Amino acid sequence: MQNRLIKKTGDEVSPLGFGAMRLPLKNGKIDRKKATEQIYYAIDNGINFIDTAYLYGDSEKFLGEILKGEYGDKVKICTKLPSINVRKYEDMEKFLEVQLERLQRDCIDYYLIHSVDLKTINRLFKRDLVKFLDKAKAEGKVRHVGFSYHGPKEEFEQVIDAYDWDVVMVQYNYFDENVQASTEGIEYAASKGMGVFVMEPLKGGILAGKMPEDAEEIFKKADSEKTTAQWALQWVLNNRNVSCVFSGMNSIEQINDNLTIADRTTPLSMTFEEMETVELVKRVMRNSLKINCSTCGYCMPCPQGVNIPECLKIYNEKYLFNHKGLVNTSFIDYYQYVGGIMGQAGNAGLCNGCGKCLRKCPQKLDIISELEKVRKEFELPGLKYILPVAKNIGIPIYREIVNLLNR
């Protein structure tokens, strides 16, 4: 693979990185034999960047144990501060020390603030985040700093400009090109010399698995040998502003599949015909949507706190990808991202029909009616009683169990 230069740090990183969030499991724990084999294989074949996080179970500790000596010298490590767990300044220093110990390193190459939007970053600034980052760099505990972004695209540049960041990690794939940071946001970050790391290039595996029949036929007609995963990965790697794409690979076959396309794809190397093929597939998928929402975000903010674009997006994906049953990806996503389990509730049921969003929607959608469809589809009876119990009792207990297992 042809490595890519991060202007601000001077590092040359492999365009394909190893995401350590989805390592193979055995009896609920990391399958150490398989995971070690896969990571060593990836490094032997040119991957020199591994991404993990404090919240990725036992991932940091496992990597610290296997990346010693020869293999440890060949890779750079990126990990993340769990912003959701920071209540005071001392928490940040405590987490960093734990992570250094887990990773068995004196210095972390890339240290990111996990899951950031404008509200989160402002909250952390009030807890002296700048002081913490400056001190950590001055003491040589971290080399470069950044954040992983999970907010609306309208706030992205504000967060970029809030500190002298070295890198940023964003969700980016051909289906979600205009979601969160968006292509324009990535270009803005790169214009400042920042490295741009990409997560979810395959949209959690959705763009690598079964797709609508018409979409699969378009891909096969263009290139019968190329997998849907390779199409998706190639599209991201084609962007000259992308430094590294992290893929959660958990088999040698997946690693080889991704290495093949990463080796072939240099910035701006896709032909017009290939780009048109991806665009056609995207159109087919968009045409399969139940709600003609482009997730532009013009309807926001909602006075009642409804995350309108996310609610409509999850509803669309349920039908686009034929998710069935009560326990399916869309149902889980709904409760995790807008239901209030992992953060502020923004579920469709909060809508009171005020109509302020209707005047702002460029698609002229009847958003109130569409949100009612979403509510009926996903929200269980007694939701307002279930969520506080899950959020205030269930999740804290779960985190304590995770912390105990990781000590």
pLDDT tens for 212-250 read: 788 889 999 999 999 998 999 999 999 999 999 999 888
Instruction: Say what the pLDDT of residue 325 is.
Output: 64
The closest alpha carbon to 175, from 321, 346, 29, belongs to 321
* Cα distances (angstroms) measured from residue 9 to each of 113, 165, 195: 17, 10, 8
Q: CA-to-CA distance for 269 and 181, rounded, in angstroms?
A: 23
DSSP 34-84: HHHHHHHHHHHTT--EEE--TTSTTHHHHHHHH--HHHHHH-EEEEEE-GG
* Cα distances (angstroms) measured from residue 214 to each of 151, 190, 211, 232, 282: 32, 35, 8, 16, 11
Residue 398 reports pLDDT greater than 70: no
Q: CA-to-CA distance for 121 and 275, rounded, in angstroms?
A: 36
- Residue 152 neighbours by CB under 8 Å, 6+ apart: 117, 180, 297, 300, 309
What 99-103 contacts at long range (C-beta under 8 Å, 24+ apart), as own/partner pairs, is: 99/54, 99/60, 100/141, 101/64, 102/60, 102/61, 102/64, 102/406, 103/60, 103/63, 103/64, 103/67, 103/77, 103/79
Question: What band does 17 get if pLDDT is binned at 50, 70 and 90?
Answer: very high
Q: CA-to-CA distance for 316 and 310, rounded, in angstroms?
A: 10
- Name the β-bridge partners of 245: 16, 198
Region 123-148: what's the mean pLDDT? 97
Question: What value does the CA radius of gyration of the chain take, rounded to a whole number of Å?
Answer: 21
Give me the chain's average pLDDT, please. 89
Residue 355 reports pLDDT greater than 90: yes
The token duo for 206 is 């959705």
* Cα distances (angstroms) measured from residue 234 to each of 212, 224, 250, 265, 271: 20, 15, 19, 6, 11
Residue that the structure tokens 């959020």 belong to: 391
The token duo for 330 is 């869309």
Instruction: Say what the pLDDT of residue 375 is.
Output: 93
Whether the CB-CB separation of 30 and 24 falls below 8 Å is answered with yes
Residue 406 reports pLDDT greater than 60: no
Question: What band does 328 get if pLDDT is binned at 50, 70 and 90?
Answer: low
| 3-state SS class at 269 | coil
Q: CA-to-CA distance for 239 and 170, rounded, in angstroms?
A: 13
Instruction: Please tell me which residue, 325 or 69, carries the higher pLDDT value.
Output: 69
> Could you tell me the pTM of the whole model?
0.76
Instruction: Say what the pLDDT of residue 190 is.
Output: 97
Where are any strands of DSSP class E within 104-225?
108-116, 142-149, 167-171, 195-199
Q: What is the DSSP letter of 21?
A: T
Instruction: Say what the pLDDT of residue 76 is.
Output: 97
Residue 260 reports pLDDT greater than 90: yes
258-262, 263-267, 291-295, 303-307: which range is least confident on average?
Answer: 291-295
- Torsion angle, alpha carbons of 59, 61, 65, 68, to 10: 80
| 3-state SS class at 244 | strand
The CATH architecture to which 4-279 belongs is Alpha-Beta Barrel (3.20)
| 3-state SS class at 246 | strand
Residue 390 reports pLDDT greater than 70: no
Q: pLDDT by residue (tens digit) across 141-161?
A: 999 999 999 888 889 999 999
Question: What band does 316 get if pLDDT is binned at 50, 70 and 90?
Answer: confident
Residue 90 reports pLDDT greater than 70: yes
The token duo for 215 is 């979409």
The boundaries of every CATH 3.20.20.100 domain in the chain are 4-279
- Name the β-bridge partners of 79: 111
Q: CA-to-CA distance for 280 and 344, rounded, in angstroms?
A: 36
